[in-house]
Structure 1
Amino acid sequence: MIRTGAQYLESIRDGREVYVNGERVKDVPSHPMFKPLVDIRARIYDMQWDAKTRDVMTFTQDGEVNGIGNKLPITQQDWWDKRRATDCVLQDVGGVVTRVGDEAVGEMWSLFDGQDVLNEVDPRFSENIRNHIDKVLHTDPFHVSANTDPKGDRSKPPQEQDPDMLLHVVKETDAGIVVRGAKFETAAAYANQAFTKPTIANWGDSAYSDYAVGFICDLGSPGIKFICRTGFAGQKPIEDYPVSNRFDEVDALVIFDDVLIPWENVLFYRHTRAAMFIRATLHRYSAFAFVQRNLMFADMLIGAALFNVRQTGLDRQQAVQEKLSRLAVYREGINAHLTAAVTLAERSPGGLLMPNQSLLYAGRVLACSQLHEIMHVARELCGGQICVTPDAAAFAHPDTKPWLDKFYTVNEDWVADDRRKLLAFARDILNSDYAGHRLTFQLFAQSPPFAHLAAVYRNFDWDGPLELVKKSAGLSDRVLGTATRTAGDSAISRWFDPSMNRAAAE
């Protein structure tokens, strides 16, 4: 039931209310700030049909062809297939795109694992989750994720400030719930649906809250408005900013102005415990897709830096080789964590196969916490010319072209035009407004560093080191019991068996 790119384009021409740069967008697919990413998403759909890529992008089950990214992970091979499909996409489009669906659908699998918790709230919600996972597989929508609210005053409970600051339910009807508030979502303006869930609010001791709600939202629903940040595409010449113009994923403040969510789309509601559970396990699967993007970006940094030092012969110097090695170690560190997370994958509470949680989350910490440092190493290797090189128009103007050809040509292999293209590419991924935006975007898309470390704390096997020291130091069993209880005292462990996270898949 895979879609074509043309079917996707038509699906987002649904009259949605989208604003960007102070204007109402008449046609999202053709607008210059949305078109580059819309075209990439359409290309991903067409890759599922393309004879050259369809075997990598799809699988067949019961005679039906479906996308690999939407497949529930049951076996280790499923994860190798997903990784290969994502690599295929990123290689085909020639850059990094984050919000294209394969990462967001993983959050639905976390809900699948949490059915026992949600059954305590209402058994209908578990059925809704299973139905929507099946729907994503068989209808192939562009599925994104709605996460962060406008922050408001987080020292106060939601109801003690502007009640609409956090998304909440304002009314129940026979048809469903009516919600009001706002969410920040990347790619929402050109996606079909979003898994919309709560930010962890200051619940206090409340067992129930109208702000503890999660649902699937049809992004073409009446009452939804998209107020987008101004994009980078089309703002500067593509010759000077080749990455900014092709890979900017536009974020939106999505306004829910009394939007009806049918009951069949409600995945959990009111129970703060359910909301906390979902937030604690949200990236159990999707973190893999996010970290894989960091791996691709590391390759882009290495390629730009290595080309730059080789063209001038600096790669023969030991100091330069050491910096290149730092880039390689960073890259291989990410690669090792992803590979090990699949190799040592674990059976989830819902019977799925999840990447080894401790290794996956540790890999995310590595990839995100060192990214800014690695970017600066690449910046050093590219040198100061990325900030002083004239633009492409100067290389083309008859009065300045001869001079730039003279001073930017290194040898017969590296002529001025290739050097200009390389320096423009390096500037765009390291120094441009877009580069700064993407670096900050990690805090939004991957969640903030404290959440990364909290995930490592919840999933690392603390018992092994404790047992080792107990035996080596000759400690009694009493201290091991106390230490284990202290280490395991996390929010998730109160209703989720931590040993499940350590159980290797059979």
Structure 2
Amino acid sequence: MIRKGEDYIQSIRDGREVYIGGERVRDVPTHPMFKPLVDIRARIYDMGHDPKLRHIMAYQEDGAWNAVANKLPHVQSDWWDKRRATDTVLEELGGIVTRVGDETVGEMWSLFDGQDVLNEVDPQFSANIRTHIHRVIQTDPFHVSANTDPKGDRSRLPQEQDPDMLLHVVRETDAGLIVRGAKYETAAAYANQAFTKPTIANWGNEAYSDYAVGFICDLGTPGLKFICRTGFAGRAPAEDYPLSNRFDEIDTLVIFDDVLIPWENVLFYRHTRAAMFMRATLHRYSAFAFVQRSLKFADMMIGAALFNVRQTGLDKQQAVQEKLARLAVYREGINAHLTAAITLCERSPGGLMMPNQSLLYTGRVLATAELHEMIHIARELCGGQICITPDKAAFSAPDTAPWLEKYYSVNADWVAEDRRKLLAFARDLLNSDYAGHRLTFQLFAQSPPYAHLAAVYRNFDWDGPLDLVQKAAGLSNRVLGETTRTPGDSAISQWFNAAPAARAAAE
């Protein structure tokens, strides 16, 4: 059943070995660098118990209330429910958090689709993934993702350097696997469990490898060490950096120092085909939540920029309107891909309902590839004052407040304090250390851009264009070679060719 915020807070007081700024953290929930996100995650849990929000955040099954984010997607409406729940969270919080569970739990659904591959290794592994998916629904843990290793010298095989540069199995025991190495995991220091898996994309001719291991890791397990980057919270007053102080998600290097992974938590082991399947389909579901957050970030850029130009009357200028329109085109492009991905959703190999893969992945490319350019347009529209405006203390000090009141008040609607708040928000959204960190994180969080394009290549319906040109040019049938699906049988073609009653049923 859905946990309460206090249940979550107590669950991470498990004696875990967490370090930040070179010092051991004695109580994660109250540490100033972690407390903002711990409180946010607790608030998300409590939203599921709020009578005004429960119908959005939760669903009832067998007499129990469960989180919408954790629900296995079986029908199209499940995705509309997930989208509405995530929007509600981000709007309720007034900012964007990425690693809070709804984005990472979908990675396990991808492995659920690969149970036939897991069965080749050991039927127990496919049973384990079913068990863990059911457990997530029942117990509602804070679930995160563990992907990236330190890697070391990437031109050399792991066996040719310190083998711990990639997480690997060092031995088997009756109780489970003993693993060693390290993983970068955002939010791991204050989460409950992580789906831990390899980042190797090309295993060559290897059929088996000790590096091909995936498991659910209880983040309170003895032997884990959490070495965190210093956070942005508390570096400067919250009045001047409202986003940095509330929404910084702490990234962690998790050290596995001969950690025991019980057999019931192992999802695949040694079989490289299982690892390759997992990497190829990892974001089949989770990319949706990532792209949805890009949409919300676009809304925040538009809002900050539009308020800035309207308060000074610049929104009447054609050049300004054109820049605003470019932000709107970016925003609506993301929105169109998300909406179409649900509308043209597809049945997965495991029987789940997945967003239309081609549309989802092309939407992700759009959201990521143009993000830096959209940020710069928003900076232009906000103007130079986001980098030169004095801080809150100057607006409050007796000697300087009257002058700032004079020069920052635009009219009766835009007094100095509102203008200061807007400029502080825009600066933190677009220009601060936190803003730069978020931009860089987008290139890491869902694989690098080249991997985004590889996902598009694997999921686009190439047969449709080939069939069209083959017929239009009068080419012989043999030029088509083998096709991956019946010509014209793409999801879009199916949709428009379907009878009205069939379309209504799909909707």
Per the TM superposition, whether the score is higher than 0.5 is yes
Whole-Å Cα distance in 2 between the matches of residues 401 and 472 of structure 1?
72
Q: Which amino acid aligns with 2:123?
A: P
Q: Which amino acid aligns with 1:20?
A: I
Aligned partners of 2:147 and 2:198 also within 8 Å: yes
Superimposed CA distance per residue, residues 244-282 of structure 1 (whole angstroms, 9 cap, x where no aligned partner):
000000000000000000000000000111101100000
Whole-Å Cα distance in 2 between the matches of residues 168 and 145 of structure 1?
17
Q: Please, which moves more after superposition, 30-39 or 194-203? A: 194-203
Tell me how far 1:500 sits from its aligned partner: 11
- Where do 1:79-158 residues align within 5 Å? 79-158=79-158
Task: Give the structure 2 partner of residue 213 of structure 1.
Answer: 213
Task: Give the structure 2 partner of residue 427 of structure 1.
Answer: 427
Task: Give the structure 1 partner of residue 498 of structure 2.
Answer: none
Whole-Å Cα distance in 2 between the matches of residues 215 and 501 of structure 1?
37
Aligned partners of 2:232 and 2:244 also within 8 Å: yes
- Where do 1:243-392 residues align within 5 Å? 243-392=243-392
Superimposed CA distance per residue, residues 436-492 of structure 1 (whole angstroms, 9 cap, x where no aligned partner):
00000011112100000000000000000000111111111111116x58x9xxxxx
Q: Secondary structure at the match of 1:109?
A: helix
Tell me how far 1:499 sits from its aligned partner: 9.0
Task: Give the structure 2 partner of residue 404 of structure 1.
Answer: 404
Aligned partners of 2:344 and 2:491 also within 8 Å: no
Aligned partners of 1:157 and 1:202 also within 8 Å: no
Residues 29, 221 of structure 1: alpha-carbon distance in 2 compared, 3 angstrom cutoff: same
Whole-Å Cα distance in 1 between the matches of residues 492 and 374 of structure 2?
31
Tell me how far 1:206 sits from its aligned partner: 1.1
Residues 391, 99 of structure 1: alpha-carbon distance in 2 compared, 3 angstrom cutoff: same
Aligned partners of 1:118 and 1:125 also within 8 Å: yes
Superimposed CA distance per residue, residues 302-352 of structure 1 (whole angstroms, 9 cap, x where no aligned partner):
000000000000001111111111111111110000000000000000000
Q: Secondary structure at the match of 1:164?
A: helix
Aligned partners of 2:212 and 2:269 also within 8 Å: yes
Whole-Å Cα distance in 2 between the matches of residues 128 and 14 of structure 1?
25
Q: Which amino acid aligns with 1:432?
A: S
Superimposed CA distance per residue, residues 61-82 of structure 1 (whole angstroms, 9 cap, x where no aligned partner):
1111100000000011100000
Q: Which amino acid aligns with 2:303?
A: G
Residues 333, 262 of structure 1: alpha-carbon distance in 2 compared, 3 angstrom cutoff: same
Task: Give the structure 2 partner of residue 167 of structure 1.
Answer: 167
Whole-Å Cα distance in 2 between the matches of residues 62 and 223 of structure 1?
38
Tell me how far 1:2 sits from its aligned partner: 0.9
Runs of 5+ unmatched residues, structure 2: 496-504
Tell me how far 1:379 sits from its aligned partner: 0.3
Q: Secondary structure at the match of 1:269?
A: strand
Tell me how far 1:215 sits from its aligned partner: 0.0
Q: Secondary structure at the match of 1:260?
A: strand
Aligned partners of 1:40 and 1:93 also within 8 Å: yes
Whole-Å Cα distance in 2 between the matches of residues 503 and 7 of structure 1?
47
Q: Which amino acid aligns with 1:262?
A: P
Aligned partners of 1:185 and 1:252 also within 8 Å: yes
Q: Which amino acid aligns with 1:177?
A: L
Whole-Å Cα distance in 2 between the matches of residues 341 and 499 of structure 1?
13
Superimposed CA distance per residue, residues 385-407 of structure 1 (whole angstroms, 9 cap, x where no aligned partner):
11111111111110011111101
Tell me how far 1:151 sits from its aligned partner: 2.1
Whole-Å Cα distance in 2 between the matches of residues 402 and 204 of structure 1?
69
Tell me how far 1:59 sits from its aligned partner: 0.3
Tell me how far 1:203 sits from its aligned partner: 2.8
Q: Secondary structure at the match of 1:185?
A: strand
Q: Which amino acid aligns with 1:42?
A: A
Aligned partners of 2:323 and 2:377 also within 8 Å: yes
TM-score (normalizing by structure 1): 0.96
Question: Does structure 1 residue 66 correspond to structure 2 residue 74?
Answer: no
Whole-Å Cα distance in 2 between the matches of residues 262 and 501 of structure 1?
45
Aligned partners of 2:320 and 2:381 also within 8 Å: yes
Q: Secondary structure at the match of 1:83?
A: helix
Q: Which amino acid aligns with 1:180?
A: R
Whole-Å Cα distance in 2 between the matches of residues 502 and 443 of structure 1?
33
Superimposed CA distance per residue, residues 25-78 of structure 1 (whole angstroms, 9 cap, x where no aligned partner):
010000000000000000000000011111100000111110000000001110
Q: Please, which moves more after superposition, 154-163 or 133-142? A: 154-163
Residues 501, 344 of structure 1: alpha-carbon distance in 2 compared, 3 angstrom cutoff: closer
Aligned partners of 1:346 and 1:503 also within 8 Å: no
Q: Which amino acid aligns with 1:73?
A: P
Superimposed CA distance per residue, residues 90-136 of structure 1 (whole angstroms, 9 cap, x where no aligned partner):
01100000000001110000000000111111111000000000000
Whole-Å Cα distance in 1 between the matches of residues 206 and 357 of structure 2?
30
Q: Secondary structure at the match of 1:151?
A: coil
Whole-Å Cα distance in 2 between the matches of residues 323 and 249 of structure 1?
31
Q: Secondary structure at the match of 1:177?
A: strand
Aligned partners of 1:244 and 1:434 also within 8 Å: yes
Whole-Å Cα distance in 2 between the matches of residues 503 and 69 of structure 1?
29
Tell me how far 1:156 sits from its aligned partner: 1.7
Whole-Å Cα distance in 2 between the matches of residues 53 and 278 of structure 1?
35
Q: Which amino acid aligns with 1:289?
A: A
Q: Which amino acid aligns with 1:403?
A: W
Whole-Å Cα distance in 1 between the matches of residues 9 and 124 of structure 2?
33
Q: Which amino acid aligns with 2:122?
A: D
Task: Give the structure 2 partner of residue 478 of structure 1.
Answer: 478
Whole-Å Cα distance in 2 between the matches of residues 270 and 131 of structure 1?
21
TM-score (normalizing by structure 2): 0.96
Aligned partners of 2:201 and 2:279 also within 8 Å: no
Aligned partners of 1:459 and 1:501 also within 8 Å: no
Q: CA RMSD in A?
A: 1.7
Tell me how far 1:201 sits from its aligned partner: 5.7
Aligned partners of 1:215 and 1:261 also within 8 Å: yes
Q: Which amino acid aligns with 1:28?
A: V
Aligned partners of 1:231 and 1:248 also within 8 Å: yes
Aligned partners of 2:242 and 2:425 also within 8 Å: yes
Q: Which amino acid aligns with 2:314?
A: L
Q: Which amino acid aligns with 1:207?
A: A
Task: Give the structure 1 partner of residue 13 of structure 2.
Answer: 13
Whole-Å Cα distance in 2 between the matches of residues 324 and 292 of structure 1?
20
Residues 120, 500 of structure 1: alpha-carbon distance in 2 compared, 3 angstrom cutoff: farther
Identity of aligned residues (%): 80
Residues 503, 62 of structure 1: alpha-carbon distance in 2 compared, 3 angstrom cutoff: farther
Question: Does structure 1 residue 32 correspond to structure 2 residue 32?
Answer: yes
